[in-house]
Amino acid sequence: MSTDAFRLDGKLAVVTGGGSGIGRAIALTFGSRGATIHVLDLDEDAAQATTQEIIDEGGTAVAHGCDVADESDVERAFGEVLGSGGIDILVNNAGIAHIGNVESTTGADFDRIYRVNVKGVYHCMRASIGSMKERGGGVILNMASVAASVGLADRFAYSMSKGAVLAMTYSAAKDYAAQNIRVISISPARIHTPFVDGFIEANYPGREEEMFAKLSATQPIGRMGTPQEVADLALYLCSGQAAFATGTDYPIDGGFLKLNT
């Protein structure tokens, strides 16, 4: 293996939802491998905290408050990014969750999930591809989910949105392969993030340990994944070592898709 394996020196990477959880882990990991990181997050303070961590470790990073569901806000944020250089890597990680079936999901619920998880990915891809074409290539990594591929109870709108992310990944990969733009996705199962802890605390007060164990056991491996494990896969997929990978989804799921029967 080359001694510079998985390095991103000289690359400019945009990570949406980089203020916490998986996005934060990806931003920190890419920053430690030489990339200049632009962290986009609805919570600008969280984006600033991530960038400061990267800078404290000797990396280069810039924070941008951005609502990916708002096309004009995305255009503004990406205009700021492009003012400092062309985009080599886009990680579409920003997203929200929702619990409910068809009957309990309101039209407002459905629209909110669609605006963030589907249109947010579209907005950011559209804002990046022109720069990648000018630079002779790039990588777009979309965060999908196992919910895109299997039925999950009470995840109707969320599953819809992640199925759309998967379809957009395949379509864009086909459209831009000739321009040397690789488009790929990762489908995690349950990952232990602050969101999971907050969800359990809000919905199962007094039963936190019980529910954490139950949710962990959903994966045949017997635990949730970590943000760093997803970030390590993202690093490989966005590096030169994965130059042959495009139009493919990569599950990281503790055996969830294939071993649950």
| Known active-site residue 114 | no
Q: What is the C-alpha end-to-end distance of the chain, expressed in Å?
A: 38
Which one of the listed residues 114, 122, 158, 170 is annotated catalytic? 158
Quote the CA–CA distance of 87 and 144 in Å, as a whole number. Answer: 21
Active site residues: 158
